[in-house]
Amino acid sequence: MSSRFSLPLFGWLVLVWLMLWASPKPVVLVSAPLVALGVLLLFPLPTRRLPTLRPVRLLRLVGFVLVDLVTSAVRNSREVLQYGGDVRAAVVAVPVLSDTDHVIATAANLVTLTPDKFVLQVDRRGGVYYVYSLGVRTPEQVNRAHDQVLDLQVRAVRALGPPDEARDVRERAGRVYRRGAVSPEKPPEEAS
Partner 1 sequence: MIVRDAASALLLLTGAVFCLLGALGLVRFPDLPTRLQAATKPQTLGLLLVLAGAAVRVEPKYIPGLLLVALFQVITAPVLAQMFGRAAYRTGDYESSVLVADDLAERLREQGGRPTDSPG
Residues 107-166 that bind partner 1 (CB under 8 A): 108-113, 115-116, 118-126, 128, 130, 132, 134, 136-139, 142
Q: 169 with 157: CB under 8 angstroms?
A: yes
97 interacts with partner 1 by CB under 8 A: no
Residue 92 binding partner 1, by CB under 8 A: yes
Given the rule CB under 8 A, which of 33-41, 103-111, 160-168, 171-179 is the region that contacts partner 1?
103-111
Q: CB of residue 39 vs partner 1: minimum separation in angstroms?
A: 15
**Is 190 an interacting residue with respect to partner 1 (CB under 8 A)?**
yes
Return the residues of window 2-21 that contact partner 1 according to CB under 8 A: 16, 18-20
Q: Is 33 near partner 1 (CB under 8 A)?
A: no
Name the residue among 133, 100, 127 with its Cα closest to residue 114.
Answer: 133
CA–CA dist 107, 164 (Å, integer): 17
Total residues in contact with partner 1, by rule CB under 8 A: 57
**105 near partner 1, judged by CB under 8 A:** yes
CA 46 to CA 42: how far, in whole Å?
Answer: 12
Specify the residue, 99 or 168, whose C-beta has the smaller distance to partner 1: 99
Amino acid at residue number 59: L
169 to 50, 154, 174: CA distances (angstroms) = 20, 6, 8
153-179 burial: b if 16+ Cβ within 10 Å, else e: bbbbbbbbbeeebbeebeebbeeeebe
The alpha-helical segments, DSSP class H, found in 22-54 are: 26-42
Which residues contribute to the site for partner 1 (CB under 8 A)?
Answer: 16, 18-20, 22-23, 69-70, 72-73, 76-77, 79-81, 84-85, 87-93, 101, 105, 108-113, 115-116, 118-126, 128, 130, 132, 134, 136-139, 142, 186, 188-191
